[in-house]
Structure 1
Amino acid sequence: MVVLRIIRAIKNGEKIVIFADVDFDGISSAVILYKILIKFTDNVEIKYVERSQGHGSKFIIDQIEDDTDLYIAVDSSSNDVEPLKFLVDKGIDCLVIDHHSVDVENPYCILVNPQQAGCEYPNKNASGGLLVYKVCQVIDDYMDTRYSLELSDLPGFALMADVMCMKEMENRYFAKVSLKGLRHEGMKLLFEAMNSDLKNLSSTDFLYGASPAVTAATRADNIKLAIDFLMCDKVIPETKGYVKELIKLNEHRKVVQAEALERHKDSIKDEDKVVIVYDPSIGKGLNGLVAQELSKKFNRPAIVLGDGDHENTYAGSFRGLEEFSMLDLLGQCENVNHTGGHDGAGGLSLNKDNLQELKDELNNFLKDFVPDDTLYYDLEFSANNVNENLINYLAEFYRYSGNNFKPGTFLIKDLFISDKKLMGKTNNTVKIDCGKLQLMKFKTDEDYYNKVPVFTEVEALGSLNINVWTQYRPKKKVIKTCQLFIEDYRETIKQ
């Protein structure tokens, strides 16, 4: 139905508007669809709103011109009944390609969403970008073309960015296509600018490098920059400028995030089962990232709130844990006006007068929940056995990691600290020398550095990595260093 309606629009020269959501999955979904449709018609455009305005079709309908024939919302709008009714009443047909939960019946669109009742598509963990790509493959079949092959790397990035399950075989396949078969020239430049090895890309390179750099633009209310960049599957004169600006915005994002965490880390009460902070200075674009940092630090769900659309409301973002669905939990709370997103990440709004009641509700629902600060690991090795070959072997096994298939964590024993160094523009990185293996601690502070003992035996837990860099003086050579990105360490107790 969806594909037939799109093909009819192509053949009749109808005006098509694609509405892009504001995260990586949303903008890549829009770019994939636009890149395919522009092969057949020039009567197609992408529309969007900034992140600070919100998610969903209700924020864009006043920008949809009356001469539009077909409106396609990607990565959002499954539950947007009234906004789509508004468009349909104007004579505009509506299609929705989405993967978020379906809470209501929406008779005003043709819906592609594996979450809807009766859908037999087996991958319930698909992202918006993957679903759009599958639609484009069917368009290719009908039109006897192969244009979707040119964009085969983008669905995997959309999946990883939206933290979809990496135990799902289809998701793992597309993640492999992205990392092993990278075609997108703009992404290549961005990976290189962030010191990633294009021949050995991993999910971690994307999730902690390229992905937050692209979404830094949307978080700064500059979604156009992110879309312009993702349009650069072939290099154009502007591409390097886009990459430079994305990295600049990402560095600013890191600073804001670190400062927010520092402000609030001492205000959390042990008895609260959910971390809840109100800080309108963070901004809508970064609320979720700060919630993620707080959740990780305190081993419990976190909510970061700012001011809502109305004077008497709060609005913000939540981050949850794998043990239960935070989205479902908030949906049961009487003091939440609205919530949406995924099980572990999304948004919410509530009346300001109900904040304490919400805290009480959550504490009651989670009265048996005990935050777990235990550090788990997959394997342990002696530092004497850690070398480039071992790290490369482990890296290949964990290359396509993500939700439900986390990167490997290892306990390394027999370490002797010979030196330490405080690094980074804001002194938030500690390098600890242990012979052939360097320990690296990121997002930390001078306090942590001062507590690291020197000339001491320790064991440390973290992820293994090889740092590759080129030395140009006095003679050019490639230097490789084995590293452990540590979560924690402890001094070895002598028996």
Structure 2
Amino acid sequence: MQTTHTTHVTNSQKPQMQPSFHPVIQRIFDKRDMGPKEITEFLSWDLKAMPSLTSMKDLDISSKRVIEAMDNGEKIAIYGDYDVDGTTSCALLYHFFKMIDVEVGLIQPSRFIEGYGIHPPSVDKAHEDGYKVMITVDCGITNNEAADRAKEIGIDLIITDHHKDARDVMPDAFAIINPNRRDEPENSELRALAGVTVGFALAVQIREDLIARGQDIPSLYPLLQFAAIGTICDLAKLNPTNLKIVRHGLKQIPTTQYHGIKAFFSPEERKRGFVPSEKLSFNIGPLINSKGRLDHPEKALQLLTIEDDKKAFEFYSHLEICNKERKFIQAEVFNSAKEQVLKSLDGKEHVASIVYSADWHEGVIGIVASKLVETFKVPAIVFTNSEQDGIIKASARSAGDLNLFDCLAENSELFLKFGGHKAAAGLSMPKENLSVFKKNMLETISKVPAIQRTVQNYFDVEIEPHEINPKLLKELEMLEPFGMGNQKPLFKMKNFRLDSFDLLKDVHVRWNLSSKKDPTCKLKGISFNYIGKWGIAHPEDLYNAQERDDDELTAYFTLGVNHFNGNQYIQLMIERIES
């Protein structure tokens, strides 16, 4: 990334490398085979050390066409997917064009009407509305028909995307900016970019071209806030490039000037100064996604582009209500899907969870697929009816290191539409193909060694109760952001006693633990939605098991800080306890 004009990072902005780390942190680095050089690179905030974002193909011609449209007063539209990545991409480009005093139109499809991607009817509508240039964000790489239609009616379609280039030929668009297009370098770090950062790269190129002709253009550094949200929530791999992008985006959020981003944080959260990536993945992402899951995503995009605190609060409140409804629907669908899986278990190896119901809400099947993977530790594909009679849609999620996209591609002749990544994909097909699909997929997946296609129980390092202290928590912050490719460290702990537990709302568990070696060393833990989990021991059974001399409890958890009523304490986020 060429940062001469986009950012300026002073030495004071970079966290200084500590000469030594907490023993637990050092053990994490050792487990990852990281020496001093690798540790320095991993902890780096240096944007100048990134590969140039403007090295991607077609950025130059795209920038020239956009600038030509600006000069000639031609209308420009931004067309984005309805998920977090697409929504933050739209918002990022909206704010960029606002910086340079250019008005653009924002278009997002409905999951239930247009479906994923850009299609000829949307191109026709844009033509009717007078747009001469359409820029897709987070979609378009497989939408050849839309590109053909755009060319036919005189719209210059600029595709910015990061999904796999999966058709026989690429779309015949004016330009395609995608680090995963077939002719980009296989070993490029940019292949891990989220769609929002591909959109950011276009903004960087346009800015550089405008500066080259003598214009004074503001820094694009604040836009990295949107890139951080989209990157974390779209589960983009946190390689060195994405780590730097997200770190700089998160750093700005406590003092953000964007009203929509500010709405997600209480004044107390902003005062803390540090934004954990989990706030994005477990709070902001689901809220932004909720609207697009249940009807049209426009309220989320309006929130991220609004310039009024009061209106931002109204849109945020709307998303909160919508998210509560989404959670209720999701719970119903998940319980129904889980029952289907449990009924299908016949004592043989459970290779994949492939389930279908006509009544399930299409907007939550992706989350349900993820929860099925979490529950049964194998890939999951969840089908439901589409808007079109006789056609069913599915969301698929992988497990372990399985490339589920490639497994699905072996059966692509059964599909009407298909796209995605190694870990997640979507498809639609005639309902009559379901039984053949299920048979074929189970055969395909079963050929892969089980260790590659199942979620393996693992932990990063073992830890003693007395090692859990504020210094460890502070140094864990240096490892942020956590996400795909840089998971939050999962600890294994023995040598403790379960002193007591409390059930909260019949499903959550609050744990009170103490060190066996030093009973004054007390630890608090929490497990959400623990009761009723498949294959998990009840707290009462665990409490009783420790009373037997030959049984020792083992806990697996991540670490966090609980902020409550102005107080804070270290909290173990317990995944499971075993005897």
TM-score norm. by structure 1 comes to 0.90
CA distance in 2, matches of 1:191, 1:140: 30
Q: Are residues 1:282 and 2:360 paired? A: yes
Of the three residues 165, 173, 176, the one matched with 1:108 is 173
Q: Cα distance, 1:12 vs. partner?
A: 0.7
Aligned residue number for residue 79 of structure 1: 142
Aligned residue number for residue 466 of structure 1: 561
CA distance in 1, matches of 2:250, 2:272: 8
- 3-state SS in 2 of match to 1:207: helix
Q: Cα distance, 1:235 vs. partner?
A: 4.8
The 8 Å contact of residues 191 and 198 in structure 1, kept in 2 or not, is answered as: no
Q: Are residues 1:172 and 2:243 paired? A: yes
Aligned residue number for residue 475 of structure 1: none
Q: Cα distance, 1:394 vs. partner?
A: 2.4
Q: Are residues 1:351 and 2:457 paired? A: no
Q: Greater helix percent: which structure?
A: 2
Identity across matched positions, percent: 23
The 8 Å contact of residues 69 and 93 in structure 1, kept in 2 or not, is answered as: yes
The 8 Å contact of residues 501 and 512 in structure 2, kept in 1 or not, is answered as: yes
CA distance in 2, matches of 1:56, 1:419: 51
Aligned residue number for residue 393 of structure 1: 475
The 8 Å contact of residues 3 and 138 in structure 1, kept in 2 or not, is answered as: yes
- 3-state SS in 2 of match to 1:411: strand
CA distance in 2, matches of 1:321, 1:253: 24
Residues 122 and 417 from structure 1, CA distance in 2 versus in 1: closer, same or farther, beyond 3 angstroms? closer
Residues 41 and 128 from structure 1, CA distance in 2 versus in 1: closer, same or farther, beyond 3 angstroms? same
Deviations 1:107-130 (A, max 9, x none): 232111112233356411111110
Residues 24 and 199 from structure 1, CA distance in 2 versus in 1: closer, same or farther, beyond 3 angstroms? same
Q: Cα distance, 1:389 vs. partner?
A: 2.1
Where in structure 2 are the equivalents of 1:360-371 lying within 5 Å?
A: 360-368=439-447, 369-370=449-450
Q: Please, which runs of 5 or more residues in structure 1 have no aligned partner?
A: 471-477
Residues 92 and 335 from structure 1, CA distance in 2 versus in 1: closer, same or farther, beyond 3 angstroms? closer
Aligned residue number for residue 228 of structure 1: 302
CA distance in 1, matches of 2:500, 2:389: 54
- 3-state SS in 2 of match to 1:481: strand
Q: Cα distance, 1:172 vs. partner?
A: 0.6
Amino acid at match of 1:262: N
The 8 Å contact of residues 277 and 303 in structure 1, kept in 2 or not, is answered as: yes
Amino acid at match of 1:31: A
Where in structure 2 are the equivalents of 1:221-300 lying within 5 Å?
A: 221-232=295-306, 235-268=308-341, 269-270=344-345, 271-300=349-378
CA distance in 2, matches of 1:91, 1:373: 49
Q: Greater strand percent: which structure?
A: 1
Q: What count of residue pairs does the alignment treat as equivalent?
A: 479
Aligned residue number for residue 409 of structure 1: 490
CA distance in 1, matches of 2:311, 2:181: 41
Q: Cα distance, 1:195 vs. partner?
A: 6.3
CA distance in 1, matches of 2:422, 2:454: 19
CA distance in 2, matches of 1:272, 1:353: 24
- 3-state SS in 1 of match to 2:495: strand
CA distance in 1, matches of 2:367, 2:261: 22
CA distance in 1, matches of 2:461, 2:84: 33
Q: Are residues 1:311 and 2:389 paired? A: yes
CA distance in 1, matches of 2:86, 2:456: 35
Aligned residue number for residue 473 of structure 1: none
Residues 60 and 194 from structure 1, CA distance in 2 versus in 1: closer, same or farther, beyond 3 angstroms? farther
TM-score norm. by structure 2 comes to 0.78
Q: Cα distance, 1:27 vs. partner?
A: 1.2
Q: Cα distance, 1:289 vs. partner?
A: 0.2
Amino acid at match of 1:189: A
The 8 Å contact of residues 508 and 526 in structure 2, kept in 1 or not, is answered as: yes
Of the two structures, which has the highest relative contact order with CA contacts closer than 8 Å and spacing of 6 or more? 2
Aligned residue number for residue 26 of structure 1: 86
Q: Cα distance, 1:7 vs. partner?
A: 0.4
Aligned residue number for residue 131 of structure 1: 198
CA distance in 1, matches of 2:561, 2:331: 26
Q: Please, which runs of 5 or more residues in structure 2 have no aligned partner?
A: 1-60, 212-216, 515-521, 547-551
Aligned residue number for residue 55 of structure 1: 116
